[in-house]
Amino acid sequence: MSTKKRKSKSNSKRPPKHNPKRSSQRASISREAVAVALTTERDGEIPMPPDELEQLCVAITERNDNVLRMRSEALQSAERLASNELRTWLREKRDARAVDWYPTAIEAPDDLARPSRTIDYAAGEFYLQDSGSLLALAAAQADTFQLRGKLICDLCAAPGGKASGLLEAIDEPYHVDQSQPRGFLLANEPILTRIAPLSYNLARTGSDQYAISNEDPESLAEKLPGLFDLVLVDAPCSGQALVAKGKQSPTALQFTHIELNRARQNRILAAAEKLLRPGGTLIYSTCTFAVKENEAQVQFMIDHLGLTPAPVQRLAKYQTDLLNPPNEDVLRCSYRLWPHRTACAGSFAASLAKPLGDEPPDYDRDRKEASWRRSTTSRSRDQSMVPREAIDQLPFLVRPDDPRHHLQLRDWIIDATAPDAPDWVQEESFRGPEIAHRAGSTWKPSHASAIRHTAAIEGLPSIEVDDETALKYLTGETIPIDNPNSPSADGASDGASDDAPNQTGWQIVRHRGRPLGWIKSNGRIGKNHLARHARMQ
Ligand SMILES: C[S@@+](CC[C@H](N)C(=O)[O-])C[C@H]1O[C@@H](n2cnc3c(N)ncnc32)[C@H](O)[C@@H]1O
């Protein structure tokens, strides 16, 4: 962990340095192609000075290190972290490394070589992402307490970089202070194969205040019109900012590609407007540079969807000036991060509001009439769907009578929906946080059920491990069970006497009280059941 690593800085306080070793595709992106992408019309003027355009063409192929978007609990008490490097940075030098537009994210300390290979990362203390993608979260004010208790829809959510930030924003304050209202997030992703990473990233937050849907935006808007306080459209786009990551080819700069994306974005935005309650906020973002997919879409929302600009004061210095001809309404609620100015991959975000109508729907009612207060008929019907074998095999986990969740069976997966989830989560059969699944004839606890917030896993069998054992576990190894008196998460002894046999069966591995995943113990060793995608590579 202490190996020195050269980092390119992603904070606007430090302008990027050109690193030729990182410019693998540099030769394949021409200044002309970027220029076309930046014009609103095929033959329009290039709205950026030529020398700046040149800098952009170089920067577009540079790689930047991801930053650490910290969980608020970690920021409040750095002591809970295992990494000395991170603890020191958070205690003493956090401001110097904070991302300018999203101060609860920091650049990785130089002496923390691979943040993704730390116990703290496995324990969900931070999420790694390009600092550019934090622009949309900043526009949504996800690093303040303004979103707590809100009902939010992330319409294009996979793999969940922004959805997990929104989920923390609506729910984490509750876990720090339980008098705070709880919010709820619907994370929608129309492409089925992208749901698994989305589920994992949402589960990592430890929250159960979410559901996942796999719908086309238009059909979702028909089911849930006028409900949400905030809708995020982090749209599929030509992805010009992803060229350096190798996730997009330079064809992302072609006119036809941009045009196809623009048309798709129009449809998604129209659905997003329908999902919003009057007075609600729409955050639109992309990771592309084309004006047609950015400022021109904001113009579309104002002209055709009746939305109004909702400027975000703190982002004023990132306000865009690229529109030809300029339109004040568009420019004052639209923000850009440029890779040649800030050393992130580059991104766009805009904030708009839906005007208040005459009769705002009583969206609060949906949340208040939560599932655990609803009629016993629907509750017992859903709970009875849980197979008897699942309850018999995992009696400590699959408990239909537990008021802390509402169980649902789907495709041999048992979800545990939050008790105060809105009714439509069950009615529409959206997926919730997974607690168990069937493999062959055996029911197994799911990874997500181990890594929930401490209150949700209270009372479940667990074993506390030291740094060395935690690292072993995270790389997929079997671990020794040699400490029957190890403290459980709340610091209490597990009650075993010196000569008592070690616990057997399913147990949650915890490090400093923070859950990491499951093992199955035979009393001497713990067989590793950490989900493959959660392992350190
Ligand atoms: C830019 S990515 C979203 C990234 C995500 N918000 C994050 O922060 O991790 C766009 C997502 O939109 C999804 N998508 C593709 N077509 C869509 C459509 N017609 N409607 C909504 N989403 C779509 C893609 O599958 C992709 O997961």
* Distance from Cα 146 to the centre of ligand 1, integer Å: 25
Residue nearest to atom 12 of ligand 1 (CA): 156
Instruction: Give just the sign of the alpha carbon dihedral 507, 452, 78, 90.
Output: positive
Domain containing residue 191: CATH number: 3.40.50.150
The pTM of this model reads 0.87
Closest of 521, 25, 35 to residue 249, by C-alpha:
25
Q: Kindly list the distances between the CA atom of residue 19 and the CA atoms of 29, 58, 59, 454, in Å, as whole numbers in the listed order.
A: 16, 10, 9, 44
* Number of other CB atoms surrounding residue 134 within 10 Å: 29
Evaluate whether residue 347 is within a structural domain. Answer: yes
User: What is residue 363's predicted lDDT score, i.e. its pLDDT?
Assistant: 46
pLDDT of 379 above 60: no
Evaluate whether residue 329 is within a structural domain. Answer: yes
Higher pLDDT among residues 133 and 180, named by residue: 133
Higher pLDDT among residues 423 and 101, named by residue: 101
Q: Kindly list the distances between the CA atom of residue 492 and the CA atoms of 395, 459, 464, 489, 521, in Å, as whole numbers in the listed order.
A: 22, 11, 11, 7, 20
User: What is residue 50's predicted lDDT score, i.e. its pLDDT?
Assistant: 79
- The answer for residues whose C-beta is within 8 angstroms of residue 87's C-beta and 6 or more apart is 78, 79, 81
Helix then strand then coil, in percent of the chain rounded to 5, is: 40, 20, 40
Would you call 70 exposed, middle or buried from its count of C-beta atoms within 10 A (0-12, 13-18, 19+)? buried
Mean pLDDT, residues 56-67 taken together? 83
Looking at the DSSP bridge assignments, the partners of residue 281 are 230, 353
Residues 482, 393 share a domain: no
- Of 262-276, 378-392, 408-422, where does mean pLDDT reach its minimum? 378-392
pLDDT (tens digit, 9 = 90+) per residue, 134-188? 999 999 999 998 998 899 999 999 999 999 999 999 987 676 677 777 899 999 9
Percent of the chain surpassing pLDDT 70? 81
For residues 65 and 67, what is the distance between their CA atoms, to the nearest angstrom? 6
Inter-residue long-range contacts of 171-176, CB under 8 Å, 24+ positions, other chains counted:
171/205, 171/207, 171/209, 172/71, 172/72, 172/73, 172/205, 172/207, 173/72, 173/145, 173/148, 174/148, 175/73, 175/206, 175/207, 175/453, 175/455, 176/72, 176/73, 176/76
pLDDT of 528 above 60: yes
Range picked from 17-26, 93-102, 234-243, 344-353 for highest mean pLDDT? 344-353
Does residue 209 contact residue 170 with C-beta atoms inside 8 Å?
A: yes
Boundary (domain end) residue, out of 450, 476, 494: 450
Does residue 244 contact residue 315 with C-beta atoms inside 8 Å?
A: no
Residues 435, 308 share a domain: no
User: What is residue 21's predicted lDDT score, i.e. its pLDDT?
Assistant: 40
What residues make up the domain containing 422?
371-450
Residues 251, 151 share a domain: yes
Boundary (domain end) residue, out of 390, 416, 450: 450
Looking at the DSSP bridge assignments, the partners of residue 53 are none
pLDDT of 4 above 50: no
Residue nearest to atom 2 of ligand 1 (CA): 236
* Distance from Cα 213 to the centre of ligand 1, integer Å: 13
pLDDT of 198 above 90: yes
Residues 347, 217 share a domain: yes
Place of tokens 């190890």: 486
Domain containing residue 468: CATH number: 3.10.450.720
Residues 186, 154 share a domain: yes
Q: Kindly list the distances between the CA atom of residue 108 and the CA atoms of 9, 16, 173, in Å, as whole numbers in the listed order.
A: 10, 16, 25
Residues 478, 502 share a domain: yes
Evaluate whether residue 82 is within a structural domain. Answer: no
Closest of 321, 217, 331 to residue 275, by C-alpha:
217
Strands (E), 385-441: 406-410, 413-417, 434-439
Count of domains for the chain? 3
Residue nearest to atom 22 of ligand 1 (CA): 156
- Of 18-27, 106-115, 434-443, where does mean pLDDT reach its minimum? 18-27
The 8-class DSSP code of residue 331 comes to: H
- Name the token pair of 134: 């934090």
Place of tokens 């709880």: 182
Evaluate whether residue 184 is within a structural domain. Answer: yes
For residues 174 and 234, what is the distance between their CA atoms, to the nearest angstrom? 26
Residues 412, 280 share a domain: no
Instruction: Clarify whether 287 is annotated catalytic.
Output: yes
Evaluate whether residue 318 is within a structural domain. Answer: yes
Evaluate whether residue 358 is within a structural domain. Answer: no
Higher pLDDT among residues 322 and 490, named by residue: 322
Higher pLDDT among residues 40 and 305, named by residue: 305
Q: Residue 306 corresponds to which amino acid?
A: G
Closest of 10, 3, 115 to residue 62, by C-alpha:
10
pLDDT (tens digit, 9 = 90+) per residue, 448-486? 999 998 778 888 999 999 999 999 999 999 999 875 444
Residues 419, 462 share a domain: no
The 8-class DSSP code of residue 20 comes to: G
Boundary (domain end) residue, out of 419, 450, 481: 450
- Of 19-33, 55-69, 341-355, 408-422, where does mean pLDDT reach its minimum? 19-33
pLDDT of 45 above 60: no
The 8-class DSSP code of residue 487 comes to: B
pLDDT of 43 above 50: no
Residues 290, 179 share a domain: yes
Evaluate whether residue 6 is within a structural domain. Answer: no
- Name the token pair of 28: 């394949």
User: For the chain, what is the mean pLDDT?
Assistant: 83
Evaluate whether residue 107 is within a structural domain. Answer: no
Mean pLDDT, residues 97-114 taken together? 90
User: What is residue 294's predicted lDDT score, i.e. its pLDDT?
Assistant: 94
Does residue 378 contact residue 44 with C-beta atoms inside 8 Å?
A: no
Mutational test site, ligand 1, from 153, 156, 274, max ligand atoms within 8 Å of CB:
156
Residues 402, 529 share a domain: no
Which atom from ligand 1 is nearest to the alpha carbon of 239? 1
Ligand 1 binding pocket, CB closer than 6 Å: 133, 155-162, 189-191, 194, 217, 234, 236, 264, 268
Inter-residue long-range contacts of 489-494, CB under 8 Å, 24+ positions, other chains counted:
489/454, 489/457, 489/458, 489/462, 489/464, 489/513, 489/515, 490/454, 490/458
Which atom from ligand 1 is nearest to the alpha carbon of 136? 8
Q: Kindly list the distances between the CA atom of residue 413 and the CA atoms of 113, 398, 416, 433, 535, in Å, as whole numbers in the listed order.
A: 37, 11, 10, 10, 22
* Number of other CB atoms surrounding residue 429 within 10 Å: 13
Does residue 206 contact residue 255 with C-beta atoms inside 8 Å?
A: no
Residues 254, 207 share a domain: yes
Residues 380, 278 share a domain: no
Residue nearest to atom 1 of ligand 1 (CA): 236
Terminal Cα distance for the chain, rounded: 15
Instruction: Give just the sign of the alpha carbon dihedral 33, 287, 122, 429.
Output: negative
User: What is residue 361's predicted lDDT score, i.e. its pLDDT?
Assistant: 52
